[in-house]
Structure 1
Amino acid sequence: MDIKKFWNAVLKQDAEKLKTFFKDTAYVNWHCTNEHFTVDEYIRANCEYPGDWDGTIERIEKVGSLIITVVNVFTIDKESSFHVVSFMEIEDDNKIIAMNEYWSDDDTAPQWRLQKNIGTTIFKR
């Protein structure tokens, strides 16, 4: 499976292209919001999400039939930014059979940690 083409379809909210990456019986779990989706529900949730999006793949790992990605997803105007860690189980025909994702808003450290003056920024946003 071409993971870069998959993420391009996600970011471009291309429903037709997205469907080609999944088995019909696949499912997607968004653990941070406790949601379980069929393929069609996932595509609808992704493609109807408001805004115009872009992103950067920060890391790709392959372990057997599992592809793990870390992606920074952000609005074109840079008003919103998220990081998502995705665990994609791939079947022999290079289609996703299950995907478990963890989405997080990008934000500053909480005030209590800033007041302790511990840690440093990884990079400037």
Structure 2
Amino acid sequence: MTDDTSRSTTTSGLRTTVETYWATADARDWEAFAATLADDVVYELPQTRERIRGKDRYLRFNQEYPGDWHVRIERIVADAEGRQAAARTEFTVGPEELHAIHFFTFDDRGLITGVTDFWPEAYEPPAGREHLVERY
């Protein structure tokens, strides 16, 4: 992502931020991943009714997520005027493949302020992350 604010909030800049977000998550490069996020980022999982507020908690959530998962971006659509983007991804966890849709919002610097993940089916969250999330 660039330091030039005018470029980071363009449609291309928002797409690049989402690409960087996923590439750094997949590489477990948590410093670079955190650099895509606003301090007050909010992450939501409607299927499990979970919400995480703040960069530190969201970063820790990702660092502690279990399993050897990998992600591949299938498509990104971005709208600079609305400061939003959507991505469709494929996750692999061992032999299992999961598809998900993710909605992103951005601040005026092009940092991610919100992420909402939609997975194919509702599920109960795995144990061990209660200290990071609030249920709704």
Give yes or no for the alignment of 1:11 onto 2:26.
yes
Give the TM-score of the pair, scaled to structure 2.
Answer: 0.67
Structure with bigger RCO (C-alpha 8 Å, 6+ apart): 2
Structure 1, unaligned stretches of length 5 or more?
Answer: 106-125
Deviation (angstroms), 1:49: 1.4
Deviation (angstroms), 1:42: 2.0
Matches of 1:56 and 1:6 in 2, distance apart? Answer: 12
Give the TM-score of the pair, scaled to structure 1.
Answer: 0.73
Structure 2, unaligned stretches of length 5 or more?
Answer: 1-13, 122-136
Give yes or no for the alignment of 1:71 onto 2:86.
no
Q: What pairs up with 1:18-29 in 2 under 5 angstroms?
A: 18-29=33-44
SS in 1 for 2:120: strand
| RMSD between aligned residues | 1.7
Q: In percent, how many aligned pairs have the same letter?
A: 25
Deviation (angstroms), 1:80: 2.7
Which structure: larger Rg? 1
- Which residue, out of 117, 120, 124, partners 1:101? 117
Instruction: Describe the superposition over 1:17-55 as per-residue Cα deviations: whole angstroms up to 9, x where unpaired.
Output: 211111111111111111100222222222211222222
Q: What pairs up with 1:20-39 in 2 under 5 angstroms?
A: 20-38=35-53, 39=55
Instruction: Describe the superposition over 1:35-77 as per-residue Cα deviations: whole angstroms up to 9, x where unpaired.
Output: 10022222222221122222221111112311100100113xx
Matches of 2:109 and 2:96 in 1, distance apart? Answer: 35
